[in-house]
Homo-oligomer: A and B are copies of this chain.
Amino acid sequence: MLIKEASLRTFTEQIFLKIGCSKQHAKLAADILLKSDLRGIDSHGVARLSGYVRLWEKKRINPTPNIQIVHETPTTATVDGDAGLGLVVAPFAMQVAIEKAEKYGSGWVSVRNSNHFGIAGYHALMAVEKDMIGFAMTNASPLVAPTFSNERMLGTNPMCYAFPAGKYPPLIVDMATSAAANGKLEIAQRAGKSVPEGWIQDENGDFTTDPHALKSGGSLLPLGSDREHGSHKGFGLSATVDILSAVLSGANYGPWVPPFVAYLDPAPNPVGTGIGHFLGAMRIDGFRPVNDFKHHLDNWIKRFKSANPIHPNQKVIIPGEPELEAERDRKVNGIPLVDAVAQDLNELAEKLGVEKLNEN
């Protein structure tokens, strides 16, 4: 099914309205999911909509949160998301970071008592639009085992760094700190295909190519896959995300992070509230004139695009480029939804009394 952006946007807004979000919040939450679908990150777009609704049904998402700054200095703050959608809590926090950066050069916000915030890149790009460098991280449901362990202790904990360029689009590094994102595993599961060695391990801690291994005690592996190839580095990055997002804010961390799937209950002995994010913004002109920076970042991008390719038809890809290409295409041609997602959304529509998906 191929669906136009505007049509899918309206549909998504209506679902959020139905669970009690304000118009402004419904619009914002839908914008983040649509941005993900437009950019080709299908795992984080409307495919997750029914997941958010199920968390609301379990009263784990508050549709009318009182999001507040609970502690601050001129350039740092802790925000309590009041169990709101991460899709509205994280933009609030990023706005705080941006305002602090406007006054003092930089702003940093750690967030507790939140939920899944969609794609990190959305939040980081809010800063880029103001000629700032944007940072966004979040912790997530424990699926990843640290090096030497077979216990799921960490989420796929993404980090995102985004930089404004001049004639080129922004350079955006937006990555799970695991070897492979969970979404890639789900694709292999649906397709009945095996996955490469180094993505996951079974319950004994041995590499496996069975994408279903997570259902029988297996776990995702940190970036680097094994100790010899640097999995302790992926573990270290994931730990950094967890500490900045949750130990710093007072959210849950490590194995205590509440699962995104509503059929799994949160840990009975929480060490904080909800999940945590960390957002930051730094003004480029706090370091050098914006035009000088953009000129040199353009030069950086140009030089890396022309790096000698191993295969003549596969040039170096600048971080953020494939997502932008997807966005250009899908804005015009529409967003493809796999059958399972379209069906899931239509069931949701029926349950909540919203008009079903419309291909036009």
Q: Which residues of A contact B (CB under 8 A)?
A: 71-78, 104-106, 108, 110, 133, 145-151, 153, 161, 163, 171, 173, 175-177, 179-180, 196, 198-199, 204-205, 223-225, 228-230, 232-237, 239-240, 242-244, 247-250, 253-255, 271-272, 282-284, 286-288, 292-293, 296-297, 299-300, 303-304, 307-311, 314-317, 319
- Neighbouring B residues of A239 by C-beta, 8 Å: 171, 173, 304, 319
**B163 to A243, Cβ gap below 8 A?**
yes
Q: How far is the CA of A173 from the CA of B234 in the complex (A)?
A: 10
Q: Which residue of chain B has its CB nearest to the CB of A201?
A: B310
- Neighbouring B residues of A255 by C-beta, 8 Å: 303
Give the number of copies in the complex.
2
- Neighbouring B residues of A307 by C-beta, 8 Å: 145-146, 149, 151, 153
Contact with A149, one of B150, B240, B288, B310 (Cβ below 8 angstroms) = B310
Q: How far is the CA of A309 from the CA of B23 in the complex (A)?
A: 49
**A299 to B271, Cβ gap below 8 A?**
yes
- Neighbouring B residues of A244 by C-beta, 8 Å: 133, 161
Contact with A148, one of B71, B224, B249, B310 (Cβ below 8 angstroms) = B310
**A254 to B304, Cβ gap below 8 A?**
yes
Measured CB to CB, the closest approach of chain B to A15, in angstroms, equals: 33
Measured CB to CB, the closest approach of chain B to A277, in angstroms, equals: 12
